[in-house]
Copies of this chain bind each other. A is one copy, B any other.
Amino acid sequence: MAMMTKEEYVSSLKGLDHRVFVLGEEIESVVDHPVSRPPAMAMAETYRQAELEETGTQFTTRSNITGDMINRFTHIQHSLEDLTKKIIMLREMGRKTARCFQRCAGLDCMNTLYAVTYDIDQAFGTPYHGRFVDFMEHIQSNDLVSAACMTDSKGDRGLSPSEQADKDQYVHIVEEKKGGIVVRGAKLHITGAVNSHELIVVPTRALSEKDRDYAVAFAIPAETDGVTYIYGRQPSDTRRLEESPSDVGNLYYGGCEAMVVFDDVFVPEERIFMKGEFSFAGPLVELFAAHHRASYGGCKVGVGDVLIGATAAIAEAQGTHRSAHVKDKLAEMVHLNETLHAGALASAGKGYKTASGAYAVDPLLANVCKLNVTRFPFDIARMAQDIAGGILVTMPSLKDRENPHIGPYVKKYLVGKDGVDSEKRIRILRLIENITLGTGAVSYMTESIHGAGSPQAQKIMITRLADLESAKAMAFHLCGI
């Protein structure tokens, strides 16, 4: 089979029969609802880039499983070069969409399971790796999107899964049946869930023996019975519902997360990749975290590129681009953005080969990368708003510009330097607003903090991965102890 085109992907979403609620109402098709369409179109862009001549080679590669050319978003990385190319592809996608395009969590999760199922099989003689390779063949051959479902609702964070008053606060096995298992629980913040063909479910934390029923990993089709999707609300999301949605800022793309509820869902045996091997939950989470934290030094950097570009553009439109402080702030924005990218590239460059043959990034540098991602976008956003000016949040709607009575005022008084049309000026400003305060801020700001794990999670990993013992030994030697 071949890779899907963008159009085929969009059709495939229309064809999905899954239960999705948006703003309190069930919807028919995610690509036909104005709120959920832009996120689907961001995902669709991962297909289109693979089609294009100029980016196609970057977005495709030969599968080590099927031997066919596949979309790189479905590829198991098998070299340091693969790791680096993924980071660069993610930046490119960030530049194209200025948004979370939702396909990398699944990619990182597949790379994780490829390695971890191998390790589990080595330890316990289980058949998971082979099953998972079969699953990958299905994904690659059909060019499907799979969503990574990791974060549980968690209940009381001070208690382990099995200690919760409500046992369903973590997804778990409620019944073993012939040919499969039945699971229950809810996964939160699931990126791209409603735009995916398959859901991959994995544990969200290290587990101990008494949490055995929670040590479960599997994949199911998105339409599986018992699965419900509740779409997450975003700032300014309903601008897309307005009659003339000119104030949306980013005209084409969105990002989305959903709460995914598993209400006694059946999982067939061939789709189970972990069942009770609790000691591998921790390693799975850490490997996924490393992969995904490095990813953030790709995608967010691409969004940063767009924000920097918009900021440079508004400075020119408003005639402030030659001020020393504006130039200095733009250089600082670039500096911070590239520092994020450097973290990801370095983690790829220092990657290693896992026992399965798949490659993984250096975990210390991946965590360092992500910890910077939790910080710098706020600084970059602050500087973007600084250069944009207060008009960013006080300007009229583009609807006012279209009004016959006051439109002329808007056109006259919001004109830019050298006759830059007020519409152009407002559109750039709306894009900056979108990324720093609107639907795009979900991707660029809050998600930069929490996606792939919160800052404290990175601090903990950095503490564990830092080699303080050898550093102390050096210090002792130098001062004569």
Flag the segment in A10-18, A204-212, A364-372 that touches B.
A364-372
* Cβ contact within 8 Å between B454 and A84: no
A297-330 at interface with B (beta carbon < 8 Å)? 305-310, 312-313, 318-320, 323-325, 327-328, 330
In the assembled complex, the Cα of A294 lies from the Cα of B464 at a distance in Å of: 27
- Residue A172 interfacial (CB < 8 Å): no
* Cβ contact within 8 Å between A250 and B463: no
Neighbouring B residues of A391 by C-beta, 8 Å: 188-189
- Residue A153 interfacial (CB < 8 Å): yes
In the assembled complex, the Cα of A418 lies from the Cα of B391 at a distance in Å of: 45
- Residue A456 interfacial (CB < 8 Å): yes
Flag the segment in A52-60, A120-128, A215-223, A394-402 that touches B.
A394-402
- Residue A392 interfacial (CB < 8 Å): yes
A389-447 at interface with B (beta carbon < 8 Å)? 389-397, 399-400, 402-403, 405-406, 409-410, 412-415, 417-418, 424, 427-428, 430-431, 433, 437-438, 441-442, 445-447
A455 CB to closest chain B CB (Å) equals 6
- Residue A381 interfacial (CB < 8 Å): yes
In the assembled complex, the Cα of A188 lies from the Cα of B425 at a distance in Å of: 15
Closest to A24 in B: B399
Neighbouring B residues of A139 by C-beta, 8 Å: none
Contact partner of A368 (CB less than 8 A), chosen from B230, B310, B338, B478, is B338
The verdict on A478 contacting B250 (CB below 8 Å), with A233-B395, A390-B450 known, is yes
* Cβ contact within 8 Å between B259 and A413: yes
* Cβ contact within 8 Å between B471 and A395: no
In the assembled complex, the Cα of A456 lies from the Cα of B315 at a distance in Å of: 14
Residue total for A at the interface (Cβ-Cβ under 8 A): 150
Flag the segment in A109-117, A141-149, A236-244 that touches B.
A236-244
In the assembled complex, the Cα of A189 lies from the Cα of B396 at a distance in Å of: 10
The verdict on A338 contacting B365 (CB below 8 Å), with A346-B346, A403-B24, A471-B309 known, is yes
A239-277 at interface with B (beta carbon < 8 Å)? 239, 242, 247, 249-253, 257-259, 261, 263
Neighbouring B residues of A234 by C-beta, 8 Å: 393
In the assembled complex, the Cα of A341 lies from the Cα of B409 at a distance in Å of: 39
In the assembled complex, the Cα of A251 lies from the Cα of B412 at a distance in Å of: 36
* Cβ contact within 8 Å between B342 and A230: no
* Cβ contact within 8 Å between B390 and A447: yes
- Residue A472 interfacial (CB < 8 Å): yes
A280 CB to closest chain B CB (Å) equals 25
* Cβ contact within 8 Å between B325 and A397: no
- Copies of this chain in the oligomer: 4
- Residue A130 interfacial (CB < 8 Å): no
The verdict on A441 contacting B449 (CB below 8 Å), with A342-B368, A369-B342, A402-B24 known, is no
- Residue A1 interfacial (CB < 8 Å): no
In the assembled complex, the Cα of A23 lies from the Cα of B323 at a distance in Å of: 34
Neighbouring B residues of A441 by C-beta, 8 Å: 393, 437
* Cβ contact within 8 Å between A238 and B239: yes
* Cβ contact within 8 Å between A335 and B451: no
Neighbouring B residues of A23 by C-beta, 8 Å: 397, 399-400
The verdict on A233 contacting B24 (CB below 8 Å), with A253-B478, A323-B456, A474-B309 known, is no
Contact partner of A261 (CB less than 8 A), chosen from B399, B409, B449, is B409
A420 CB to closest chain B CB (Å) equals 10
Neighbouring B residues of A335 by C-beta, 8 Å: 368, 371, 458-459, 462
Q: List 25 A-B contacts (CB under 8 A).
A: A23-B399, A23-B400, A24-B397, A24-B400, A95-B474, A98-B478, A156-B319, A188-B391, A235-B235, A251-B479, A259-B410, A259-B413, A306-B471, A307-B475, A309-B471, A324-B325, A335-B368, A335-B371, A342-B347, A343-B346, A345-B349, A378-B381, A389-B454, A390-B450, A428-B475
* Cβ contact within 8 Å between B386 and A454: yes
* Cβ contact within 8 Å between A374 and B386: yes
* Cβ contact within 8 Å between A365 and B386: no
